[in-house]
Amino acid sequence: MNNKKFILENWNIDKNFKIEEVDSYSQEVSIIVTSTGEKFVLKGQKKIERIKKETTLLLDLKHQNLPVAAPIKNKKGGYYVEDDNLYYALYPFLDGESFSDHYSKDAIKKANLLGEIIGDLHNCLKNVNSSGYEKMNLVSNVLNWAKNVIENNQEYFDLKSVTKIINCFEENIAPLYDSLPKQLIHRDIHPGNILFTNGKLSGIVDFELAIVGPRVFDPCYCTTSMLVGDFEDSKKREKWIDLLLSLLEGYKSKVDITKEEIKSIIYILFAIQLIFMAFSCTTNNIDAAKCNERVLKWLYENRESIKKKLLVLYN
């Protein structure tokens, strides 16, 4: 705590504040609340390259009038400081709330709005210099990593069914993948990372995982989060396909989605669950992995209904 206070002396903020630690998988995160009520976020990362890229990205998006938490300049005019082999940056705290009840009366409207926001975000990200960013190879991630992890933990899963789905993914995504439009994407754009105040967009947060990949990955990822969150409720689960379509229609209103992208959607949905299954195995969260398996099998069983519903996107 004292170390954080020393670090914060590098910025021109109120000297009286309290520090609230936040659980984070990839970095140190603290909420700073001053005596005057101002709130900031202090993040510490091990890799200077990552914090430099994120700084450039956020400043660029802010310049394009997107509500993002661009880092605050320190007393020396820079955007980060180094302490004990960690690089720290200070960000404004963005007020707002995310959509939490994805099956409320206005759920379809909200899903459409989320799609529009992701489309606007992609149009802005397309203007950002993506050189130096890692490139996602979704096919390799599934076939050369997730598959192996799942097979090494096969005692927890219905491996025969999962292998069948992996084979379906490989057979159908291979002819499409190279033709999918790729650009810088958010990579973690679940509804919790999109904030609203009085019904209007007030913030998009957590760009740490930004990567160059198939742009349709982001809207698929967002809708998958909705599905997983209430998956055990069968009534809500059956309504999810309409949410998927509404979000994609909102996205399409901002981005010229291609026929290849529409064809790929169901297989990208498979890939996301397979990757989460494997990731949860590596963190020894087997319950989460088994939940992702149930979602994966449901998506596969309902794949024709989903593909039929998405036909409207071709118009």
Burial class (CB in 10 A: 0-12, 13-18, 19+), 113: buried
The domain limits of the chain are 2-92, 107-314
Q: Are 205 and 91 spatial neighbours (Cβ–Cβ below 8 Å)?
A: no
Tell me the pLDDT tens digit for each residue of 235-257. Answer: 899 999 999 999 999 999 999 99
Full-model pTM: 0.93
Question: CA 295 to CA 247: how far, in whole Å?
Answer: 19
pLDDT band at 314; cut points 50, 70, 90 = confident
- 13-27, 86-100, 174-188: the lowest-pLDDT one: 13-27
Helix, strand, coil proportions of the chain in percent (round to 5)?
A: 55, 15, 30
Residue with tokens 């949410």: 243
59-86: average pLDDT: 95
Q: Are 281 and 153 spatial neighbours (Cβ–Cβ below 8 Å)?
A: yes
pLDDT band at 2; cut points 50, 70, 90 = low
> The domain 2-92: what is its CATH number?
3.30.200.20
What integer pLDDT is reported at residue 25 of this predicted model? 62
Tell me the pLDDT tens digit for each residue of 208-228. Answer: 899 999 999 999 999 999 999
Residue 27 has pLDDT above 80, yes or no: no
Mean pLDDT across the chain: 94
What integer pLDDT is reported at residue 101 of this predicted model? 84
Residue 97 has pLDDT above 90, yes or no: yes
Name the superfamily (CATH) of residues 107-314: Aminoglycoside phosphotransferase (APH), C-terminal lobe (3.90.1200.10)
Could you tell me the CA-to-CA distances from 154 to 121, 157, 299 in Å, in that order?
Answer: 38, 5, 20
One-letter amino acid for residue 205 of the chain:
V
